[in-house]
Amino acid sequence: MRSKVYSISILLFLLGCNPSKTAQNKTKPNVLFIAIDDLNDWLGCMNGHPNAITPNIDKLAKEGILFTNAHCQAPLCGPSRASLMTGLRPSTTGIYGMIHDEKIRDDNEATKDIIYLPEYFRNHGYHTMGIGKLFHTHAPEGVFNESGGRYPGFGPLPEKRFVWDGYGTSDREKYGRTSTDWGAFPEADSLMPDHHSADWAIERINREYDKPFFLGVGFLRPHVPLYVPQKWFDLYPLENLAMTPYKADDLDDVPPVAHLINDLPMMPTTDWAIESGNWAKIIQAYLACVSFVDYEVGRVLDAIKNSKYADNTVIVLWSDHGYRLGEKGTFAKHALWEEATNAPLLFTAPGLPKGKVIDSPAEMLSVYPTLLELCNLPKYERNEGESLVSLMLGKDESENVAITTFGMNNHGIRTLKYRYIQYEDGGEELYDHAVDPNEWENIAKDLNYVEIKKEMKNLLPINNAKWNIHSNYNFQPYFVEQKERTSNVTSK
C-alpha cells in the first residue's frame, strides 16, 4: 500500500487523474529542462570518475531521483536530440546522423506532423522559452514563445589550436574536421557562451508569469574543444588524476563492423595519447569542463530555489550521450559501448522521492512522456518511450531495457545485467556487467549464453527505416558508405 504521507492532491498529480479545473491548474508545475552536451557519468553522484568535482548536480541528485543507468537513443548529438524532442526512435525516423533543426520534419513520413516536446507544452497552456543547444543547433523556428538563440559553434576559440589539429590521419578533402582540442582558454567564465545562457535563464526565472512556464537551457560544455578558464584546470592536478580503464587488445574479439564504426581517424587514439603524454591532460581538460558546466547549472538551480517557483517546478537534467576518454581505444562518443551511451538523467518534482538512486536501465526517450505525466498533461500517443513515473515510485527495476541505435540496423540493448549489440550484418557482442563492467570480454559466442542472446534479440527494433535524406554523418567513412548502400539517397 502506498505511504499515507502523500496527500490526495499529490496522488492525483502523480497518477495523472483528472481533477477539477481549479485543482488541475495547481498541478501544472513549471518545467526547467536542462540539456548538457557530451556529459558522461563523470559526476560525483554517479561515481563515474573518482576525481570529479560536481557539487551542484550532486545536490540536485539528493533533492530528487538519479538514474545511473540511463542511455541515449543514438551516441551522436544530432540523432539523439531529434529522438528525445520528437519522442521517436532513430530506427523509426531514419535520423541516424546529423540533421538541421528545420529539416527534422521535411520529407519524412514518421516526423512530418510530429509535435516537438516544447511545442506540446505550449499547446497545453505553457509559456515556452529556450536558449542554447537544445535540438542539434538550437531549435526549429517558432518552437519556443521566446528564444534566446545559440552561440554559433563551440567557441570562444584561441587564434591557434593548442594540441590537436582536428584532422588526425583522416582524408581532409573527404571528411570533416573535429573541434577536438584541449587547454585553458579563455581568461574568464563571463566569456563563455554557457555563462550567458545561464544569465538569460536566470533573468527569465525572475520574471512574473500568468501561466506555467517551460524553460529549456542547453549547455555546450563539456563538448569539445575542451576549453575553459585556467581556474577549472587548477581543480585537477595532473599528478592526482585517475586514468580510465584501457586494454590494448580490447577490440580483438569484436565484429568487423564494430571496427568500422570505431574508425575515427580525426580523433586522438588512446595509444597516441599514451605515447605523447597527453592522456592525463585530456582527462584533466574534460573534468575541468564538467566542473565548469556544473557551476553554471548551479547558478540556474539557485535561481529557481530562491524564486517564487521553487515549490512548483519540475526539473529534468540530461545529456545527449556519454563520452569515451580513452576507453575502447579513442576519445569520442560514436559507439554502442557503455561509455558512449550512458549519460546522466535526473528528475525533481513536487511529490517525488528525494535522494533516490535507480540503477535500472532507462532511456532518454522517456523524458518526453515522463514530463507530461509529472505535469498532469495528457499522454501524447506518438511517444515511443515510456514514462518513468511509476518506476520512480517503486516499480520493479529489473523489467526495464534501453535501446541505442547507431546507423541503420546497428543496435545496442542494455538490461540491468547485460549489454547486447547486433550489427547490420549479424555480428554480435555480449557483455555481462556483473563481472565485466569495462566490457572487455565479448561472450557472444559462449554457448552458455544462447538463451540470454535469444531474449535480447527479441528486444531489437522491428522497424529499421532507411536513412532520412536530410540526415548524414560525413565525418566517418562507414556512415557515408552505409547510407549510400542501404538507402540509395544522398544528403540534401
Question: How confident is the model at residue 491, as a pLDDT?
Answer: 56
Considering the domain boundaries, does residue 419 fall inside one?
Answer: no
Average pLDDT of the chain is 93
* CB of 369 closer than 8 Å to CB of 121: no
Choose the catalytic residue: 45, 77, 289, 375: 77
β-strands 313-319, 30-36 pairing:
parallel
* 191, 290, 314, 340, 420 from 221: Cα distances, Å: 13, 7, 23, 16, 30
Q: Which of 71, 127, 136, 470 is catalytic?
A: 136
At residue 454, the pLDDT reads 97
Active site residue 77: yes
Task: Please indicate, yes or no, if residue 8 is contained in any of the structural domains.
Answer: no
Q: Which residue has the higher pLDDT, 465 or 172?
A: 465
**What digits encode the pLDDT tens for the residues 49-81?**
999 999 999 999 999 999 999 999 999 999 999
User: At residue 161, does pLDDT exceed 90?
Assistant: yes
Instruction: Express each pLDDT in 261-306 by its tens digit.
Output: 999 999 999 999 999 999 999 999 999 999 999 999 999 999 999 9
Q: How far apart are CA 230 and CA 431, in angstroms?
A: 39
Known active-site residue 334: no
The CATH number of whichever domain residue 132 belongs to comes to: 3.40.720.10
- pLDDT, mean of residues 181-196: 98
Q: Is the pLDDT of residue 10 over 50?
A: no
pLDDT band of residue 395 (cuts 50, 70, 90) is: confident
* pLDDT of 24 strictly over 90: no
Predicted local confidence at residue 19, as pLDDT: 36
Residue range 232-249: mean pLDDT, rounded: 96
Cβ–Cβ under 8 Å, residues 425 and 486: no
Own/partner contacts of 377-384, CB < 8 Å, gap of 24 or more, are: 377/28, 377/120, 377/121, 377/124, 378/124, 379/16, 380/87, 380/115, 380/120, 382/87, 382/88, 382/114, 382/115, 383/87, 384/87, 384/88, 384/89, 384/92
Q: Does the model's pTM come out above 0.85?
A: yes
Residues in the chain: 492
For residues 154-168, average pLDDT: 96
> Per the domain annotation, does 421 fall within a domain?
no
- Please, are residues 310 and 27 in contact by the beta-carbon 8 Å criterion? no
Would the pLDDT of 23 be above 70?
no
pLDDT, mean of residues 425-441: 98
Average pLDDT over residues 351-364: 96
Q: Is residue 44 assigned to a domain?
A: yes
Domain-located, residue 476: no
Predicted confidence band at 398 (pLDDT cuts at 50, 70, 90)? low
> Is position 98 within any domain?
yes
pLDDT digits (tens, 9 = 90+) for 476-491: 889 999 999 999 876 5
As a whole number, mean pLDDT of residues 86-104 equals 98
> Average pLDDT in the 467-479 region?
93
Number of structural domains in the chain: 1
Residue 331 lies in a domain: yes
pLDDT for 15: 43
For residue 17, is pLDDT > 70? no
20 pLDDT exceeds 60? no
**Does residue 24 lie within any of the structural domains?**
no
Q: Which domain holds residue 180?
A: 29-396
Query: What pLDDT score does 175 carry?
Result: 80
Q: How many CB atoms lie within 10 A of CB 458?
A: 8
Q: Is the pLDDT of residue 141 over 80?
A: yes
